[in-house]
Amino acid sequence: MTLADIANLVVAAVLLAGIYAVMSVGMTVIYGVMKIVNLAHAGFMMLGAYIALEFFERLHLDPILAALATFPIMVIVGGFVHFTLVRWLPRSDQPTLPSLLLMFGLWLVLQNLGYLIWGNTDRSIFTPRTFDVIHLGPVVIPTIRLYVFIAGLGCVLLLEALLNWTWFGRALRALVQNPYAGRIVGIDDEKIAGLTFGLGIGFAGLAGALLASLYSFNPDFGRPFLIRAFVIIVLGGLESVSGVAIGALVLALVETFTIIWLPAGYQLAISFGLLVLVLIVLPGGIASLLGRVRRLA
């Protein structure tokens, strides 16, 4: 394998990591504040993909713009779901069984809605640009992947900014660290929870919409991504955006490089095997290792 090949693979992995990060950030944020593991994440990704498809086909919007437009819609959807269903769940510091089952039921409902509204044939978003490539020396980059990466990265950075520089972000981080203390100092945790949930769903939808430009999809397409999101979160630790970025990168690298030796069908099994390995060696995920390093320093 030549250096150019390796460079290509690394670049491909980084681009992939970008979108994996977008996908996982939504789950992380919801988990951090509400301790809810969002199994319906895959369903919302699917919804986002289809909404972007509608924008593309009916309004002839550029796929990336369509994805960005999907974001606010999904945030509203998320807020609505929170208001009607999620806020009735028992409150806890730990993930609860009812929350798990509720989100799972929601996922089933979303899938079925997807089938009812859009049918179960594969759809995809094609533009003349889909096959363009850019050459950076020996490295070949499909432009669509680059745009997706940039859009995704931009949104994740905006999220970081939001978390660190706005009142909402601060309130959110406070609730992640200590919900009781947060409530005592006056944070309206119901409202923040609703906004957070909306935000998380927004990112899920955004991820789905971005993926729609890269792959074909049908209402069931969420499941492998759900598993990947989970792997990333466990790898990267559940409570920080940077952790997610690291986890996404690791997973993307592993996936990209193992394709050389194994048929694509086994990819999921590999990702999963990686997870199991990490869990056996480091029950806290890679982030716990980093935490240890930081503490020693």
Interface residues toward another protein, by CB under 8 A: 37, 39, 85, 88-92, 94-102, 104-113, 115-116, 223-224, 226-227, 230-231, 234, 263, 265-266, 268-269, 271-273, 275-276, 279-280, 283
Residue 2 is encoded by which pair of tokens? 């030549």
Largest CA distance in the chain: 60
CB 222 → another protein: shortest distance, Å? 11
CB 54 → another protein: shortest distance, Å? 20
Residue 146 is encoded by which pair of tokens? 């680059």
Our CB check for another protein shows the closer of 106 and 246 to be 106
Our CB check for another protein shows the closer of 83 and 257 to be 83
Give the span between the Cα atoms of 180 and 178, in whole angstroms.
Answer: 6
Our CB check for another protein shows the closer of 105 and 154 to be 105
Three-state secondary structure call for residue 201: helix
Q: Which 8-state DSSP code applies to residue 136?
A: E
Around Cβ 115, how many Cβ atoms within 10 Å?
A: 13
CB 263 → another protein: shortest distance, Å? 7
Strand (E) or helix (H) holding 286: helix 286-296
Our CB check for another protein shows the closer of 63 and 222 to be 222
Residue 51's nearest CA partner among 228, 215, 207 is: 207
Our CB check for another protein shows the closer of 55 and 230 to be 230
Residues paired with 133 in a beta bridge: 142
CB 23 → another protein: shortest distance, Å? 14
First to last CA, the chain: 39
CB 248 → another protein: shortest distance, Å? 17
